[in-house]
């Protein structure tokens, strides 16, 4: 694994904002790759999906994040009550997420990666496997298709650690294409973006209690 490259931030345009669903309690948004979920610490990193949403929906609040390089479905709370309910749902693992990824090589038809993760502090935000003090981390995968050189897989995170899917797939020898943190020399140059997309999101509405389910396609890979 290589040291994390410096962040070069060139956020894509979102006009109009990719809001797939909205009501008085929440927003479902399809985040594009290359856009921060929330503002960064530096002035040049203040532009984010959250800041763009709050320009239109001032009560929008964050309950989870996607990596800048990852695209796909996110839920934002509207107001403190909804934020509290959705935060509890995430904490109790009551929000169901699945991802599509294109990886190097051909993994088995399905399987479970169970390797504990911890932040590599000298090289943060990079994560590493540590069997002594790492936090429990599990990811299920399912092979959808393969051309022999690369494969499309569905990934289901059982836990929600930072960079979990990226580290786990690299650890079993099938790094996600375009991953500049955890990829091989070959996989890093096989795509011009990280081929990871949050494609499915299921949750219970924080006010009505109705089940909600959303799905999007990863059009670029």
H-type helices in the chain, by residue range? 49-54, 80-91, 164-171, 185-188
Give a yes or no: residue 6 inside a domain: no
Positions annotated as catalytic residues are 67
Give a yes or no: residue 206 inside a domain: no
8 Å CB contact between 195 and 177: yes
Give a yes or no: residue 221 inside a domain: no
Model pLDDT, residue 102: 98
Rounded (5°) CA angle 181-184-188 = 65
Give the number of residues written for the chain. Answer: 221
Do 55 and 107 sit in the same domain of this protein?
Answer: no
What are the mean pLDDT values of the chain's consecutive 10-residue runs (221 residues total)? 66 93 98 95 91 97 96 98 98 96 98 98 94 97 97 97 97 98 97 97 98 87 72
Q: Is the pTM of this model over 0.85?
A: yes
8 Å CB contact between 64 and 49: no
| Residue that has been written with the tokens 């960064």 in this structure | 40
Give a yes or no: residue 213 inside a domain: no
Model pLDDT, residue 220: 65
The C-alpha atoms of residue 183 and residue 177 are separated, in whole angstroms, by 7
Q: How many domains does the structure of the chain reveal?
A: 2
> Residue 121: which domain range?
99-196
Model pLDDT, residue 1: 46
Do 107 and 150 sit in the same domain of this protein?
Answer: yes
The C-alpha atoms of residue 25 and residue 81 are separated, in whole angstroms, by 8
Q: Which residue, 40, 62, 92, sits at the end of a domain?
A: 92
């Amino acid at each position: 694994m290589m040291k994390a490259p410096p962040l070069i931030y060139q956020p894509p345009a979102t006009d109009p904002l990719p809001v797939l669903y909205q009501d008085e309690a929440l927003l479902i948004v399809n985040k594009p790759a290359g856009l921060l979920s929330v503002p960064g610490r530096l002035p040049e990193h203040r532009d984010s999906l959250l800041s763009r949403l709050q320009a239109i929906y001032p009560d929008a609040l964050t309950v989870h994040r996607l990596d800048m390089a990852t695209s796909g479905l996110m839920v934002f709370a509207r107001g403190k009550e909804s934020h509290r309910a959705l935060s509890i749902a995430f904490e109790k693992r009551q929000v169901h997420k699945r991802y599509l990824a294109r990886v190097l090589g051909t993994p088995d038809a399905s399987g479970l990666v169970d390797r504990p993760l911890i932040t590599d502090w000298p090289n943060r935000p990079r994560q590493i496997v540590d069997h002594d003090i790492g936090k429990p981390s599990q990811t299920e995968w399912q092979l959808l298709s393969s051309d022999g050189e690369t494969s499309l897989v569905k990934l289901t995170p059982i836990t929600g650690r930072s960079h979990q899917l990226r580290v786990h797939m690299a650890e079993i020898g099938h790094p996600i294409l375009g991953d500049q943190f955890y990829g091989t020399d070959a996989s890093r140059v096989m795509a011009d973006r990280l081929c990871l997309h949050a494609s499915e999101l299921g949750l219970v509405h924080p006010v009505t209690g109705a089940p909600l389910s959303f799905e999007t396609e990863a059009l670029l890979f």
